[in-house]
Amino acid sequence: MTQEMAISALKLAAFGSVCFGLALVLALITPLQGFFDLFFDLVHYPLDGQQALTSDSGRVLAAITGGLLVGLGAMVWCIAQDIYPQDPATGGRIILIGVWTWYLPDSFGSVIVGAWFNVVLNTGFLALFVLPILLHRQSQRALTS
């Protein structure tokens, strides 16, 4: 994967993070809540209609989580824009540290509370950030060999 492709893929992943985070926050005051009710039911698979974004605690955690996802996306966008083009090793390391330190406790906590399917969803989200970096590194190694 070329560096330009990796940068574009990282920006796309960052944009997706921002959009999902904003949607989660907007679900607190819009019909998007129905989508997130389904999403929360899915992460607590099987789909049984038992989970929803209704409690005060769940709603504040949705606001916090949404904000963190927006921040993560903005940070990755800036790294992909300002650092990765000049120094892919440093930019990639910063992004990988960030996403892995999100992924491991999020997935571990999800398993603990019985939301094991969230690990599957997390893995897909993680891949959006990790694959461009690893594929670019691999292509760079192939070029220098």
Count of C-beta atoms within a 10 Å radius of residue 39? 19
pLDDT of residue 144: 85
Q: Distance between CA atoms of 107 and 122, rounded to whole angstroms?
A: 7
Phi then psi for residue 39, to 5 deg, are: -60, -50
- What's residue 145's pLDDT? 78
Q: In the prediction, which pLDDT does 74 show?
A: 98
pLDDT tens for the chain, residues 1 to 145: 999 999 999 999 999 999 999 999 999 999 999 999 999 999 998 999 999 888 999 999 999 999 999 999 999 999 999 999 999 999 999 999 999 999 999 999 999 999 999 999 999 999 999 999 999 999 999 988 7
What's the pLDDT score for residue 29?
96
pLDDT, position 130: 98
Instruction: Write down the pTM of the prediction.
Output: 0.93
CB 24: neighbour CB atoms within 10 A?
25
Residue extents of the structural domains in the chain: 3-144
Distance (Å, whole) CA 46 – CA 44: 6
